[in-house]
Amino acid sequence: MYSRLLELCGFTPDEIKQEKYRIEKTFSTLKMGEKEIIAAEKRIESLYSVELLSVRKMLKIWIKELLALVMAREEKEKIVYAIMPSPSESYLAAMMASDKLYVGYPDYVFQVTLGALFGNMTPLFEAAERSGMPAGGGHCGLNKTRLGAHALGIIPTGDLGMAWGIVCDEGPKTDELIHEVFGMPVSYISRCQDDPLDRYPDVSERSVEFLVGEIKRAYAQFSDVTGVQITNELVMQAIQTIFGYMQGFGKLQELMRNDPLPVSQADMILFVMVTQLCIRDYAGATEAVQMFYDDVKKRVDREEGILPKGAPRVLWGNHFPLTDPGIVKMVEEIGIAVPFSEIWYVTTEPPTEICEDPVETIARRFATVGLLTSVTGRIKDVIRLFNDWQLDGILWFNHIPCKVIGTDSLMVKKALKKELGVPITVIEGDIYDARMYNRQQIRTRVESFAEMLATHVRKSA
Amino acid sequence: MYYLGVDIGAATAKAALIRDQSLCAEVIIDTGPDIREVSRRIAAEVLDKVGIGMADVQKIVATGYGRISVDFAHKRVTEITCHAKGVHQLVNEAKTIIDIGGQDSKAIRIDGSGNVLDFVMNDKCAAGTGRFLEVIARALEIPIGDLGAISLQGNEPCTISSVCTVFAESEVVSLRAEGKSRENIVAGIHKSIASRIRAMMGQVGHEGVIVLTGGVAKNKGLIKALEDDLSTCLRIPEFPQLTGAFGAALIASNNC
């Protein structure tokens, strides 16, 4: 029943046979029956370049992440969950410390697999809405994902949740709720946010030192719970592993400068997400991103693209809707090339300096991402990217429930309009919950934006 | 040469037939559930009015949320662009458009040639749209066409604090129970819509002549509330519901 789906996702018949127990257990836990599997097959075929082995390879890596998450209690001695935004190097170091641990970001794994690949997130959201995050309450779809997964019992309760309240308060509050209802112990990591608004990209040493202290305190709590030490050597190894992948991804991202745009963002999302999280198979992911780079490079050399040469190119503000890659496909169908999204671009840039203390490298890199610093920092980053990529306009997806990246959208729009004088359109929704917007109304906005953009480009010429 | 614009909105479908850039026939009917059928019917009706057939129409442009389903159109253009073109033709000095439709409301900034410079839409939520007024009219048992005249009689508009149509409906029922007059309740409703529109106008920035379009532009009470809130006089085209269809017809005649 599931063989074709898994073959589409790069599994060989032998691998399917080997993984039979885990696959069946996982699909049964997730209530993925024949209907859901057929729907997932159609969805994957319509959204992704499954004709490319590199894409199928990356799909397999994501499916394996799903299996590892759902099977964690059966296969591992201790489970540690992370939330975003947080430096994934810490978690990779924790994962490397012992093969008896499951460490990961459960919400993002579900967002990519159950959401983007299978289109089957609604049961999780509805479960969250019955369990303390009511519908219409303006709660973030990402936090609902985590709560809903616990409420449905499709993931085991963690032995420790590491809640980063560095910019978002709802993430840690959700973990507090999970702690109260499901009994997961939680470690809270904080950050001082009192740098002057116009200081970015400089960062105060006091703020870096504070974050270093918080991360080390969290490592100590981790050790208390798991009995496993996160050493400096492991952290350094994790940094090198993730940055090794980031370099491969960075090369791929550079190909998106080509006109015509060589590949859809729907495919790119699969690869960029690896830069955000900690996964189990970096060797496989690094190989996949190199293969994908080779595939895309061939397209570039042949001057092939998903849009005609000369299509207007825009910056995408915030994330792409993660569970719904169909939105960015729709934008591309309308004739707009989107070479990257603002947040994913700025968070996939390697660190500017490697410090003696690897934890300081992590903290410093985190403290110098504009959008995690201030609105001023974010605006500076966007202007820099816009000019560097020589774009024509901005499509800003306002993640309404988010106090960090949603609240400032109108301020950002106003500042960018003044500074850049190009068409900017804001779309409202929830990047993690496709129920929170109407596709047809988004189409109207994007088509209007395209019409506005065409006039602007014509006038500028 | 005839050119046809078909605007399939959430509540009503509109058709505008033009010749030499001037309107020669128009039809407005309820959209209903079958968009394909209504688009064909409205096209046939507007052509009937001048006694011509489809073969006499040079080009057709479809707009509105149902534009994709108008399978006989030569081109589909968004209602935002069509309103801009239509309003510019009717009110040449217009710089900003407020369009309050059945399902959404929009604020659109245009340049001196009728090109869109910026726009914002209030969708997802029905508050501030024509549907909102329909719900309130039903709750107060007032024909929707009477809302304007009734609200102009209000001298102390009620404060409507709810930001949701459904909650506003129950708030209206509570206000009635408190003995507030229908006149002041309706005036309060119009005031709350005006406040939402002002927030949207703030996002696009407004200057110069502001034109109000959409079915609610016939509601004199809402016009007054908007004018009070924005401290300016609004211009209302002769057929405010038709500007989208008219703009679509103009686009058909110009560059389709």
For A133-159, what is each residue's pLDDT tens digit?
999 888 999 999 999 999 999 999 999
Give the Å distances, CA to CA, from B174 to A447, B28, B192: 42, 36, 17
Residue of A438, A440, A452 with shortest CB distance to B116: A452
Residue A410's domain is classified under what CATH number? 3.40.50.11900
The parent domain of residue A273 ranges over 234-460
Does residue A6 lie in a domain region?
no
Output the pLDDT for position B123.
62
In a domain, A78, yes or no: no
Burial (CB < 10 A; 0-12, 13-18, 19+), residue A136, is exposed
pTM across the whole model: 0.91
The string over B163-195, giving b where at least 16 C-beta atoms fall within 10 Å of a residue's C-beta and e elsewhere, is eebeebbebbeebeeeebbbbbbbbbbbbbbbe
Q: Which amino acid is at A381?
A: D
Work out the number of other CB atoms within 10 angstroms of the CB of residue A72: 22
In a domain, A317, yes or no: yes
- Higher-confidence residue: A50 or A202? A50
Does B65 contact A423 at a Cβ distance shorter than 8 Å?
A: no
Q: What was the pLDDT predicted at B124? A: 64
The contacts of residue A88 (CB under 8 Å, 6+ apart) are A82, A105, A242, A276, A277, A278
Determine phi and psi for B109, rounding to 5 degrees.
-100, 135
Nearest CA in chain B to A421: B117
- Does B165 score more than 80 pLDDT? no
Q: Look at A448 and B80 and tell me if their CB atoms are within 8 Å.
A: yes
d(CA A219, CA A225): 10
A448: nearest CB among B65, B81, B124:
B81
Beta-bridge mates of residue A161: A81, A186
Chain-wide mean pLDDT for chain A?
92
A428 touches chain B (CB under 8 A): yes
Report the percent of chain B where pLDDT is more than 90: 70
Write down the pLDDT at residue B135: 86
Residues B188-213: tens digit of each pLDDT: 999 989 998 998 998 898 788 999 99
A455 touches chain B (CB under 8 A): yes
Structure confidence by residue, pLDDT tens digits, A443-458: 999 999 999 999 888 7
Closest-CA residue of A relative to B63 is A444
Record: contact B116-A428, CB cut-off 8 A = no
CB contact under 8 A, B65 and A428: no
Of B241, B47, B6, B41, which is closest to residue B130 (Cα–Cα)? Answer: B241
Residue A441 has its nearest CB partner, among B77, B104, B116, at B104
Alpha carbon of residue A75 to chain centroid = 26
d(CA B106, CA B102): 11
Measured between beta carbons, the chain A residues lying within 8 angstroms of B104 are 441
Q: Which chain A residues have a beta carbon less than 8 Å from that of B80?
A: 444, 448, 451
CB contact under 8 A, B104 and A426: no
User: Does the pLDDT value for residue A274 go beyond 80?
Assistant: yes
The answer to whether position A285 is within a domain reads: yes
Residue A271 lies in a domain: yes
Q: Note whether A448 contacts B203, CB cutoff 8 Å.
A: no
Least confident interval from A146-150, A280-284, A325-329, A411-415? A411-415
Q: Is the pLDDT of residue A26 over 90?
A: yes
Region of poorest pLDDT, from A195-199, A304-308, A456-460: A195-199
φ and ψ at A186, to 5 degrees? -130, 135
User: Which of A280-294, B99-113, B117-131, B189-203 bottoms out in mean pLDDT, i.e. has the lowest?
Assistant: B117-131
Is A334 at the interface with chain B, CB within 8 A? no
DSSP label at A341? B
Kindly tell me if the per-residue pLDDT of A351 is higher than 70. Answer: no
Interface list for B 6-35 with A (CB within 8 A): none
Amino acid in position A341: S
Q: Measure CB to CB from residue B116 to each of A413, A440, A448 and give the nearest one.
A: A448
Looking at residue A259, its amino acid is: D
Burial of B92 (0-12, 13-18, 19+ CB in 10 A): exposed
A113, B147, B162, B174, B184 from B177: Cα distances, Å = 51, 19, 17, 5, 13
Q: How many domains does chain A have?
A: 1
- Residue B3 sits at the chain A interface (C-beta within 8 Å): no
Contact status of B65 with chain A (Cβ, < 8 Å): yes
Listed residue (B137, B154, B155) closest to B146, CA to CA: B137
A444 in contact with chain B, both atoms CB, cutoff 8 A: yes
Contacts of A444 in chain B (CB under 8 A): 65, 78-80, 121
Q: State both tokens at B202.
A: 């703030």
DSSP state of A291: H
Q: Quick one: average pLDDT of A367-382? A: 79
Confirm whether A341 is domain-assigned.
yes
Domains in chain B, CATH or no CATH each: 1-91+241-256 (3.30.420.40), 93-236 (3.30.420.40)
The span from the CA of B144 to the CA of B141, in Å, is 9
A438 Cβ under 8 Å from any chain B Cβ: yes
- Residue B65 is nearest to which of A426, A444, A451, comparing CB atoms? A444
Residue in A423, A426, A448 nearest the CB of B78: A448
Residue B118 C-alpha, separation from nearest chain A C-alpha, in angstroms: 7
Strands B2-8 and B12-19: antiparallel
| Cα separations in angstroms, B58 against A425, B62, B64, B141 | 33, 14, 21, 46
pLDDT (average), residues A69-73: 98
> What interface predicted TM-score (ipTM) does this complex get?
0.86
Judged by CB atoms within 8 Å, which residues 365-424 of A form the interface with B?
410, 413, 417, 423-424
The DSSP letter of residue A113 is: I
Residue A169 located in a structural domain: no
Contact criterion met (CB < 8 Å) for B65 and A437: no
Token duo for residue A283? 């060797």
